[in-house]
Chain A
Amino acid sequence: MPIFDTHMIFAIMGIAFVGGIIGLDRTAAGQFMLSEPIVAAPLTGWLLGDPIAGIIVGAVLELIWVLDMPIGAFVPADATISAVSATAIAALGSAGNAPLPAIGFSVLLTAAMVPVTMRADGIVRHWNSRLADAVMTGPGPGAGRRLARAHLSGLPVFFMKSFVLYLVFLPLGLAAVSAFNHLPENVHRAMSLFVKFLPLVGVALVARKLSMKTVDLFFLSGFMIAAMTGQLFHAPALIIILLSVTGGWLGARYRERRS
């Protein structure tokens, strides 16, 4: 069966378009966090008929990239392109019901995408920074109109950056998944295990960045609250999460009073 039939080409174009629109939310418009992996990946999975792939990719990439912060001139990784691409590659490469190894491999592919997205972001931002000069040095009156034109021209540029990157990443990723399907069973097992470990890697990454200690008291308290209420009272997950939030808040208040 050919990898790129008409249906696949339309699907890639559609995801590139939707991904481009979602990507505007990162910096160009709104910043309502629709572009975060936890939202963008499940949305992509739902659009492609594979919500489970979206949920897995969204949860793990959110934890991994959430503290990669756009501070000062630092350009963080484009987690939106990673999340949408990984979900789309897994879902399209497996006809809508991606097995764990394919999801793991798709997430792994994003490691190669990230440096490219950062470079592309840097180029677009550099181009953007020259817009102010164009307004300043423009001829004659009409600075207001030039300003509006320059400001709004950033939107199609950011959209095109994401759109073009999707058009490159998705076909390459799908070809890679197709090749991956022919690899030995051991590689597939490894990718299954990789996916299962990723949430722990995400949790450990966030914990490392939020706390100076390897074994943090608040982290341990959350663990104890969840394990005990789950074990002793068989409490539903929502109650356990609420108890963890309350426990953390009370602990923070206690620490404030003590200091």
Chain B
Amino acid sequence: MQSIGFAYAIEPALRKLYPDPAEYESRIRLHLEYFNTQPFFASYILGAVIRMEEDRAMGRNAGDDVPGLKAALMAPLGALGDSFFWGALKPLAAVVAVALLMTGSWWGPLAFLVFYNTWHVGLRVGMLFWGYQSGGDAVALMTRHSLMKTAKRFKLITLTVLGGIIGMVPGWSPEFQPMVSGSFLLMALFWLAVTTALVAIFRRGGSPIQLMLGLAAFCLALAYAGVIE
């Protein structure tokens, strides 16, 4: 899946390390074998593999198993990266940005990009060097940076901000303001009850598309029943 990208990224190092064209070609072919991991954590594997290729080219560790190292690292780092980037960092950045946007801060998307990419670019570049320095010691990486713990914290903060979004209903921008009016606290409590009911309904399953279609049908039913004017 990502083998072409990996081979393309390591190609400049291989060209430098292997002046013999036949060996250079064979190393490129080796790196075109199956590879799939979380794309940002791939730079850790890239760093570790460059280190191994360097050792091999210098004759220090001719028997090193490069495909074995890649195969051993891609699954655990893929799981860690998916959980951290897609499951924790992106939702947190997105939910904070949505909260800002819904309360009238037009710069919410900008804050999203800055917050997300500070982590993204920082870790992507850092991973390359950590991979190179450690030679692919993924356990040391996980111990040193406790990314699982950070991911868990991010998820809990995201949940808190989600609750905050509902608690701020009366402060939403006019384009998001619900159609009902009332006192600040009553409005917030009403939307909390609606959201909790929705969570309970969604627990029964259904894709976002089905949920959107279901909601549209519900709204149509309310309109034709004369409940909304």
Contact = CB atoms under 8 A, between A and B. Distances in A.
Contacts of A70: 86
B168 A150 contact: no
B166 A223 contact: yes
Contacts of B73: none
Contact of A67 (B24, B87, B106, B165): B87
Interface string B1-32: 10111011001000100000100110011001
Interface stretch (B52-60, B63-71, B130-138, B153-161): B153-161
Contacts of A228: 167
A208 B199 contact: yes
Contacts of B82: 69, 71
A222 B163 contact: yes
Contacts of A238: 100, 103, 105
B47 interface: no
B109 interface: yes
A200 B191 contact: yes
Interface in B172-220: 173, 175-179, 184-185, 188-189, 191-192, 194-196, 198-200, 202-203, 208-209, 211-213, 215-216, 219-220
A206 B162 contact: yes
Interface in A121-139: 125, 128-129, 131-132, 135-136
Interface size class of B (residues with CB under 8 A): 35 or more
Interface string A151-194: 10010000000000000000000000000000000110111111
B222 A223 contact: no
Interface of B: 1, 3-5, 7-8, 11, 15, 21, 24-25, 28-29, 32, 36, 39-40, 78, 82, 86-87, 90-91, 93-106, 108-109, 112-113, 116-117, 120, 149, 152-153, 155-168, 170-171, 173, 175-179, 184-185, 188-189, 191-192, 194-196, 198-200, 202-203, 208-209, 211-213, 215-216, 219-220, 222-224, 228-229
21 contacts: A31-B39, A32-B113, A33-B117, A42-B106, A67-B86, A69-B86, A73-B1, A111-B213, A131-B4, A186-B224, A189-B228, A190-B228, A197-B219, A199-B98, A206-B162, A223-B192, A224-B163, A226-B168, A230-B170, A237-B171, A245-B161
Given A207-B159, A216-B159, 10 more contacts: A59-B176, A64-B208, A66-B91, A132-B32, A196-B176, A203-B162, A223-B163, A226-B164, A227-B168, A230-B184
